[in-house]
Amino acid sequence: MKKIVLVLLLGVSFLFSAINLQTASKNELMSIKGIGPKKADQIIEYRKSKQIKSADDLKNIKGFGKGTISNVKAEKTVNQKKMNEKKKRAKIEDKRKMKIQKVKNSNKTPEQIKKRKETINKKAKEKKMKIKEKK
């Protein structure tokens, strides 16, 4: 069971993390638009002798032009945006849970608690939808 959870967490982390050009595997590099097996091999070979600090360092590799480099930068930007959205949704969810717990601990009647919980859930859902709409 622990192994399954670990594998799932690793898989999800790849979806929401920017690709590190210095440590990425061949398959991870090939997931970037415009980088196939040959260019992935070129990146791997290049980083054996030089450190890749940014996507702009790829200019030093033959066959890497502005288009490929902009694709690498776009991939990093997209992944960063996804991560920020995920953090915002998690923050909204934490606040929602905290408010509901506070309502449960109050001296309100069951009907009042139910109504307040519905309001809290509705507002949290609306906030999450606004995050999705900003994409």
pLDDT at 130 over 90: no
Distances from the Cα of 122 to the Cα of 26, 49, 134, angstroms: 44, 55, 19
> Mean of the per-residue pLDDT values for the chain?
82
* Residue bearing the bigger pLDDT, 16 or 59: 59
pLDDT score at 72: 83
Apex CA 74: angle with CA 11 and CA 39, to 5°? 75
pLDDT at 16 over 60: no
Count of domains forming the chain: 1
Q: How many CB atoms are closer than 10 A to CB 108?
A: 13
Q: Which CB contacts under 8 angstroms, 24+ apart, belong to 60-66?
A: 63/38, 63/39, 64/39
pLDDT band at residue 131 using 50, 70 and 90 as cut-offs:
confident
Apex CA 17: angle with CA 79 and CA 55, to 5°? 70
b/e sequence 14-50, b meaning 16+ C-beta within 10 Å: eeeeebebeebeeeebbebebbeeebbebbeebbeee
pLDDT band at residue 126 using 50, 70 and 90 as cut-offs:
very high
Which structural domain, as residue segments, surrounds residue 47? 2-133
pLDDT tens profile 54-105 = 888 889 999 888 988 888 887 765 556 667 788 888 899 999 999 999 999 9
